[in-house]
């Protein structure tokens, strides 16, 4: 018996060493497809009944759907900062949506942080970002100065989807987020006009980039601004949803359908070029759906974009790598958008600076069964300005809904909608998770820049919104 155990052990270790050696040599392509403000329920593979996303569903079927995947923040900018550094953005002060300020080099992702493209460049990768950046509008913070070789997209938080609405040529000439929605698209640094529907143009550029870089390892960050507001879609996509009665939901469905076509075109191009098995594809939304704004659906989760409830920061998430990761599965362990870089770093053997360790981890051993349990035993969220917190640990989740309010405790396995507060029932569990929260909080710094929320533009918008709310209540 002893001998058998020993030989099995020896075999396992050999296999492990073999796979590690192989892993060190691997340079798969990486494609990250990120949508903007897509709700948790809003894809066929997430159970949607009214939308149609056949290509996203095919991607999901070819890989693993992560049911308990979180981004690092419930709004765009900080969430992207977390994904692209593989680190909690609260560690380096990116804890607000940045203002659109081409004159301010501090307004965005600090230069002290490495992006995923910076790290991959050292391993010989060519990188592109197509679509939304939102990590700073100053030239120092431009994607081409943050490790990327190619940029086609926009620097701010959103964009109108037709050229006729883009009335401002130069993206560097303005100092206002609202106006930034109306500047021309940039190709690298140059403003450029486009024809047709913006989402289709982003897909065109993605397919072109893949074809042009098929001979060498590449990283493509395809960062669709859809289905973020403004809600705009051409007739050809709207026509696909004659049965959706809510007009806003119909536009939303059309916008996601255009993204879905893009996903299909990318998969087809990879198949054509026989690159599918040498390409890791991740698909996720950057935060939960803002239902009032874009008619997204986060059910069965509680809350919306910007919330510390799961509806704010738990997202649709797929990882597909045929030939290496077995497809057709659902994985329920706690996972993070930071694990995209964690996985890439392990597979490619990226050099990570000692003073900036990743919070993301390698997902592969959890998928192969080499490691038991979840990639993260615990995952954290802080919103500094309101002192809101959420900590997910195993099945439990602590929520501090607002500054100095008493914490709630939920069991997400039994109560995914966060409806039954167990704080009084399990004070010991609550106290333990709260200790973890305080210990994590002590590692963080304060936000390094004022946010969009501090601008007059934003406060005016909020006042208008409150007035409308009051009117509708009266
Ligand atoms: Ca977003």
pLDDT per position as a tens digit, 43-88: 999 999 999 999 999 999 999 999 999 999 999 999 999 999 999 9
Say which DSSP state 451 is in.
Answer: B
Percent of the chain residues past pLDDT 70, beyond the cut: 94
| Domain spans in the chain, listed from the N-terminal domain onward | 29-368, 378-473
The H or E element that residue 345 is part of is helix 339-348
Measured distance CA(403)–CA(389) in Å, rounded: 9
Confidence of residue 270 (pLDDT cuts 50, 70, 90): very high
Which residues, other chains included, contact 350 with Cβ-Cβ below 8 Å and sequence gap of 6+?
Answer: 119, 120, 122, 123, 344
Residue 16 CA to ligand 1 center (angstroms) comes to 39
Residue 474 CA to ligand 1 center (angstroms) comes to 32
What pLDDT sits at residue 14? 37
pLDDT digits (tens, 9 = 90+) for 221-258: 999 999 999 999 999 999 999 999 999 999 999 999 99
Question: What mean pLDDT, rounded, does the chain reach?
Answer: 94
Whether residue 302 contacts residue 419, with contact meaning beta carbons closer than 8 Å, is answered with yes
Question: Which pTM does this prediction carry?
Answer: 0.94
- Write out the two tokens for 430: 């609550």
What pLDDT sits at residue 434? 98
Q: Residue 277 region, left (φ>0) first, then alpha (ψ -120 to 50), else beta?
A: alpha
Of these residues, 55, 134, 160, 376, which one is catalytic? 134
Residue 160 CA to ligand 1 center (angstroms) comes to 15
Whether residue 33 contacts residue 282, with contact meaning beta carbons closer than 8 Å, is answered with yes
Residue 169 CA to ligand 1 center (angstroms) comes to 24
Q: Which CATH fold would you assign to the domain 378-473?
A: Arylsulfatase, C-terminal domain (3.30.1120)
For 96, list phi and psi in degrees, rounded to 5: -140, 155
Residue 76 among the catalytic residues = yes
What pLDDT sits at residue 62? 98
The class that CATH gives domain 29-368 is alpha beta
Residue 228 among the catalytic residues = no
What pLDDT sits at residue 78? 98
Do 29-368 and 378-473 come out as alike in CATH topology?
Answer: no
Measured distance CA(298)–CA(290) in Å, rounded: 9
């Amino acid at each position: 018996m002893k001998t058998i155990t020993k030989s099995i052990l020896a075999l396992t270790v050999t296999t492990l060493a073999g796979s590690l050696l192989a892993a060190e040599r691997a340079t798969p392509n990486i494609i990250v497809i990120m949508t903007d403000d897509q709700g948790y329920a809003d894809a066929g593979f997430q159970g949607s009944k009214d939308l149609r996303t056949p290509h996203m569903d095919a991607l999901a079927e070819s890989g693993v759907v992560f049911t308990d995947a979180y981004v690092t923040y419930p709004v765009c900018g900080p969430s992207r900062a977390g994904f692209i550094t593989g680190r909690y953005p609260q560690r380096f002060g990116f804890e607000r949506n940045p203002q659109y300020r081409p004159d301010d080099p501090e307004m965005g992702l600090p230069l002290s942080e490495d992006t995923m493209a910076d790290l991959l460049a050292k391993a010989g990768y060519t990188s592109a970002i197509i679509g939304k950046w939102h990590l700073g509008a100053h030239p120092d913070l431009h994607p081409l100065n943050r490790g990327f070789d190619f940029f086609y997209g926009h620097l701010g938080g959103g964009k109108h989807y037709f050229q006729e609405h883009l009335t401002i040529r130069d993206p560097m000439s303005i100092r206002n987020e609202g106006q930034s929605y109306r500047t021309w698209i940039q190709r690298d640094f140059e403003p450029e006009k486009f024809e047709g529907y913006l989402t289709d143009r982003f897909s065109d550029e993605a397919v072109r980039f893949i074809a042009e870089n098929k001979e060498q390892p590449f990283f493509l960050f395809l960062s669709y601004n859809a289905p973020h507001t403004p809600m705009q879609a051409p007739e050809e996509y709207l026509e696909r949803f004659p049965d959706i009665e809510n007009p806003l939901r119909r536009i939303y469905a059309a916008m996601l359908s255009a993204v879905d076509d893009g996903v299909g075109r990318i998969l087809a191009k990879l198949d054509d070029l026989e690159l599918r098995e040498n390409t890791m594809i991740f698909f996720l939304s950057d935060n939960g759906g803002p239902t009032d704004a874009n008619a997204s659906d986060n059910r069965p989760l509680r809350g919306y974009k910007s919330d510390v409830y799961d509806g704010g920061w738990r997202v649709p998430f797929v990882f597909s790598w045929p030939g290496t990761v077995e497809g057709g599965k659902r994985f329920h362990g706690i996972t993070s958008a930071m694990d995209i870089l964690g996985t890439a770093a392990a597979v490619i053997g990226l050099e990570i600076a000692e003073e900036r360790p990743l919070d993301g981890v390698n997902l592969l051993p959890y998928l192969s069964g080499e490691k038991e349990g979840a990639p993260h035993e615990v995952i954290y969220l802080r919103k500094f300005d309101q002192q809101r917190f959420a900590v997910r640990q195993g099945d439990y989740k602590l929520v501090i809904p607002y500054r100095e309010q008493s914490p709630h405790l939920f069991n997400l396995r039994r109560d995914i909608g966060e409806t039954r507060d167990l704080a009084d029932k399990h004070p010991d569990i609550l106290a333990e998770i709260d200790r973890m929260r305080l210990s994590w909080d002590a590692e963080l710094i304060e936000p390094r820049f004022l946010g969009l929320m501090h601008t007059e533009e934003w406060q005016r918008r909020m006042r208008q919104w409150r007035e409308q709310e009051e009117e509708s209540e009266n």
